[in-house]
Structure 1
C-alpha cells in the first residue's frame, strides 16, 4: 500500500470530505480525534461510517484516526468503522507496540463480524506524542502483522512535556522534536515499515513545504501527512522518484540480478555495493515498481 501522501479530513465535515476525495492523495485519514469537537464525536462516527461505504468510488485508500486508548472511546470508534471500505486505522498517542496489539485484537473480531478477510485492516501509528512513547520506539520491531507505517507528531508531545514552543525563529524544529523525528525514522526502518513525516502546518507556504519535503525524502521518509488538499500535489511530486532516479535504480537492480553472487559491481565507471542495491530497491518500491 502506497503511503506517499496522507490527507487528514475532519470526520464531521461533508464539505471537506467532498473536496478531499478528489485531491489526489494516496490515503484519506478520516479523523475522529483532534479535528472533531467532543460534542460532535457521535455524529462524526456516523458520518465516517457512511463515507466508508463510498470507498469503491474514491481513488484514495480510506483510513480512520480513532480516539486514543486512554479515552475509552477507541472500542466504540472501531465498532463503527471496521466495515468494508476501511483500509487502515491510525492510532494516535500510542505508547508502544502493546497499543498496536491491543487495537489489532479489537479489529480481529470486528473484521469477522463485518465479513472482511482477516488482516485486511492495517495499522499506522503516531509514535511520538507522549513522553513514554519516546522510550518505546524500539518495541515496534519485530512489527505486528497489521503494522504498515510510523509517523510522528510534535504538538501533543510539546503539550505533554510543558514546552512553550517547538520551533526555532527560522522555522526549524527545536532539539527535542528533531530527536523525535529522527527516532521515528529509525524505528520505522528497524521495523521495516513506512516512515511518514509529520504535517507542515502552514498550508499557504507552498515553497516552504516543498523544501521541507525534499529534506524529508533525502533523510529517508517515504511520505508525508497533509492537512489541506492544496498540499497534496507538492507532497506527491516530492516523494515520487524522478525518471533519472528510477533509471539508475533499475540499472543497479538489473546488474546485481545478473550477477547474484557479486557483492560489488562496476556500472558505467562507478562502483556499487549491497547498500546501493538496497537503496535502489527502495527507490523502485517508492514508485510502486517491483524490484
Structure 2
C-alpha cells in the first residue's frame, strides 16, 4: 500500500473517479468532508460504495471521532458491507484502538464476519493529548495496521496561527510527524505520511513523497486524484534499489555463517539485510 486516496462519503461521482485511479486504497470519508446534515445519508452512500466491485483496491471507512457520538452509528451502517479497514480520527492512543477493536468484534459477530478481519488505522496527531500519548500504541493491538499524522486539526488544538514556516512545516508539526514515525516503527505498523495540500504542484507532491519515504514512511494519504501517480512512483523501489536488495539477500543466503559481508567494497551487515527485505516487500517481491 503506497497511496491512500480520500473520497467524500456523499459523492458517488468522486468515488467512481477514484476507482479509476491507481490508488492502492480509498478512504470513504464520513468525517470532515461530509457536512453534519448530510452524515446520515452519507452512511447509506458509503454502504453502496462498499458493495461495488472493488477490483484490487482496499476500501477503508473513516468514521467520526468518538467525541462526536456518531461512531457507533457509522459502524452499524458500514460493517455489514465488509470494509477492509476503519480509519479512526482524533485517536488519543492505544486505549482508543482497544475500544474500537471491541466494537468491531461485536459488529463482525452480528454480520457473520470472521473475527479480526477488519483492521484499524488511526490518525495519531490531531490533538496535543494524542501527540503526548503515542507511546501507548506499543505493544500494538492485533487489529492496528497503521498510524498517520495530520497537521490541520493539531493547529486548532495548539492554538497555532499556521502549521507552516514558509514552504516547510513549523517546528511543532515536524515534531508530531517524527513522533508518529517513531510510534509506528515501535508498534511494528505502517507509518503513513499526511496529505500534500499543494493541489496543482505535482513536483512538490513528488518531492514531499520522496522525503517521506527517505525518512521511513511507507505510504501517503492523498486528497486529489492527480497526486496518486507521483506518490506511487515515490514509494515504489527503483530498479537499482531492487538489484541492491537482491544482491544483499543472495550474499547472506550464500554465506549463512557470516554476520558481515562485503559488497561493492562496502561493509554490509544484518541491518542492511533487514532493509533489503523491506525493499523487496515494497516492490512486491518478498
Q: TM-score, normalised by structure 1?
A: 0.96
Partner of 2:148: 151
Partner of 2:183: 187
Report if aligned partners of 1:150, 1:184 keep a CA contact under 8 Å in 2.
Answer: yes
Shift of 1:207: 1.0
Distance 1:69 1:93 in 2: 8
Distance 1:46 1:257 in 2: 53
Residue 233 of structure 1 pairs with residue 223 of structure 2: no
Shift of 1:84: 4.1
Distance 1:52 1:69 in 2: 22
Distance 1:70 1:58 in 2: 34
Residue 105 of structure 1 pairs with residue 99 of structure 2: no
Report if aligned partners of 2:47, 2:81 keep a CA contact under 8 Å in 1.
Answer: no
Partner of 1:197: 193
Question: Any idea what SS the aligned residue of 2:164 has?
Answer: coil
Report if aligned partners of 2:108, 2:115 keep a CA contact under 8 Å in 1.
Answer: yes
Distance 2:284 2:136 in 1: 28
Gaps of 5+ in 1: none
Report if aligned partners of 1:52, 1:83 keep a CA contact under 8 Å in 2.
Answer: no
Shift of 1:43: 0.7
Shift of 1:278: 1.3
Residue 67 of structure 1 pairs with residue 64 of structure 2: yes
Q: Which moved more, 1:135-144 or 1:267-276?
A: 267-276
Question: Any idea what SS the aligned residue of 2:80 has?
Answer: coil
Shift of 1:32: 0.2
Residue 8 of structure 1 pairs with residue 14 of structure 2: no
Distance 1:261 1:203 in 2: 51
Partner of 1:18: 16
Distance 1:71 1:217 in 2: 34
Report if aligned partners of 1:92, 1:126 keep a CA contact under 8 Å in 2.
Answer: yes
Q: Which moved more, 1:14-23 or 1:263-272?
A: 263-272
Shift of 1:272: 0.1
Partner of 2:158: 161
Residue 42 of structure 1 pairs with residue 77 of structure 2: no
Number of residue pairs matched?
286
Report if aligned partners of 1:84, 1:116 keep a CA contact under 8 Å in 2.
Answer: no
Question: Any idea what SS the aligned residue of 2:103 has?
Answer: helix
Question: Any idea what SS the aligned residue of 1:143 has?
Answer: coil
Residue 251 of structure 1 pairs with residue 247 of structure 2: yes
Residue deviations 1:14-69 (CA, integer Å, cap 9, x gap): 11111011111111000000000000000110100111111x34331000000001
Distance 2:81 2:11 in 1: 21
Gaps of 5+ in 2: none
Partner of 1:139: 136
Q: CA RMSD in A?
A: 1.0
Residue deviations 1:1-24 (CA, integer Å, cap 9, x gap): x2x100000000111111011111
Q: TM-score, normalised by structure 2?
A: 0.97
Distance 1:193 1:286 in 2: 14
Partner of 1:78: 75
Shift of 1:152: 0.2
Distance 2:260 2:140 in 1: 31
Distance 2:252 2:106 in 1: 44
